[in-house]
Amino acid sequence: MKEKDNKKINYNDLNNVIGLGGKILKIIYVLIIILIVYAATIIGKEWGIIKFLLNLLKALTPLFIGLVMAWLLDPVVMWLEKKKIKRLWGSAILYGLILVIIGLSITSFIPIIMDQINELIKAIPGIFDEVGVWFNNLFNGLKSNEYVNFETTKADIILSIQNIAKSLTTTLPDKVLNMINSMFSAFGTFTLGLLMGFYLLYDYDKVKAKINSMIPKKYKEEYTELTTDINTSLFGFVKGMVFSSGIVFICAAIVLSIIGLKAPLLFALIAAILNVIPYIGPYLGIIPAAIVGFTQSSAIGLLVIIVMGIIQLIEGNIINPLIMSKTMKLSPTTILVSMLIFGYLFGMLGVLIAAPLAAALKVIYLFVLKKYKIKKGIFNE
C-alpha cells in the first residue's frame, strides 16, 4: 500500500509546475518580442527607414489631429442629427464651442500660466541657492573618515549646482525663445488640424462609406466587427483618460494653491499631462512640484509629496484600474513593455500613444485568433 501511495501523482505540485512554466513562457515571449523589435529598430535606423517614418509622421501631424478630432466629435454630431440638426450645423456648433473654449483659455487661463512661469524663472537663482544651502547643512552633520571625504563630496556637489545654475541662467533666454517659437509652430499645426478636422467631421459618414466600399463583400462583416471593437476600446480609453487627467488637474490645482506652492496651476497642468503616461507618469508629475516645494520650505516640500501622492494613489488605484480593465483589458506588463518599445522608436510621442496602440493591437490579435479557431472548428460562434 505504501508503495502505491508513493507512486500517486501530486496534482497540486503538478499544477504549480505548469503554472510556473506558463509564466516563464510569457516572459520568454515578451523577451522575444523585445529582441525582434530591437533588431527591427537597428535595421530601420541603418537603412534610414525610421527617420523617413518620423519625418512622414511629422508632415502628416495636421491630418492625424483632424482625424482624431473628427473621430472624437462624430458621436456628438450623430446625436445632434437625431435631434433634427443637420450635420453641417452640428459640426459648426461643436467647432464654435471649441473656439470659444480656446479663446477663453488664451484670454484667461494661459496668461495666469505665463505669469507663473515668469515668477518661477525669476525664482530659479534663489531655488538653486536654497538647494546649495540644503546640501551644505546636510553634509555639515556628516564626519569624514578614511573611506569617505564628505568635505570633497560636498564641494563637488555645490560646484555642480552652481555650474547648472550658471548654465541655466545663461541659456534661459534662448530656451524661452525656442519654447515660444515651438508653441507658435504647434499652434499653427493644431489650427491646420482643426480646419482639416471640420471638413473630415462634416464628411465623416461619406469617408466611412468610401472606405467600406473598398472592402471586399465577403470581408465586410469582419471589417465592421473589428473596427467596432477597436473604436469601442480606444474611445473608452480617451474618455477615461480625459476624465482622469481632469480630476488630477482640478485636485492638484486646489491643494497646491492651499499649500502655497509657487506656480500651482503650472504644476497641476504638468501633473495632468504626465498622468496620460500609464503607471509612471502620475508619479513623475510629483517630482518638479516637490523640488520647488522644498526650495520654499521643508514643510511645503513634504506637503506637496503627501497630498500629490494621495491624489495619485486614488487615481492610480481606483480610477485608472477601471479605465484599463473596462476599456483596454491590458496587463501592467503589456503596457510597460509597449511604452519601452514605442518610446524607444518614437520618443515621448511613443510613450503617450503606447497604451492605446497596444490595446488596438490586442483587439486585432484576439479577433484574428478567434476567426482562426472558428475556421479550424476549435469552437463555434
Read off the amino acid at residue 204: Y
Residue 164 CA to residue 283 CA, distance in Å, equals 24
C-alpha triplet 353, 276, 248: angle, nearest 5°? 170
Residue 257 grid cell? 494653491
* Tens digits of residue pLDDT in 181-226: 777 787 888 888 888 888 888 888 888 888 888 888 888 888 888 8
DSSP 339: H
- Is 279 within 8 Å of 335 (Cβ atoms)? yes
List C-alpha distances in Å: 328 to 110, 233, 237. 33, 6, 7
Residue 162 CA to residue 132 CA, distance in Å, equals 8
pTM above 0.85, yes or no: no
Residue 108 CA to residue 125 CA, distance in Å, equals 28
Give every residue of the chain whose pLDDT is below 50, as ranges: 1-2, 4, 380-381
- Look up cell 493591437; give the residue: 361
> Helix %, strand %, coil % for the chain, to 5?
90, 0, 10
- Is 365 within 8 Å of 377 (Cβ atoms)? no
DSSP character string of 158-185: HHHHHHHHHHHHHHHHHHHHHHHHHHHH
- Is 113 within 8 Å of 269 (Cβ atoms)? yes
pLDDT at 381: 46
pLDDT at 8: 56
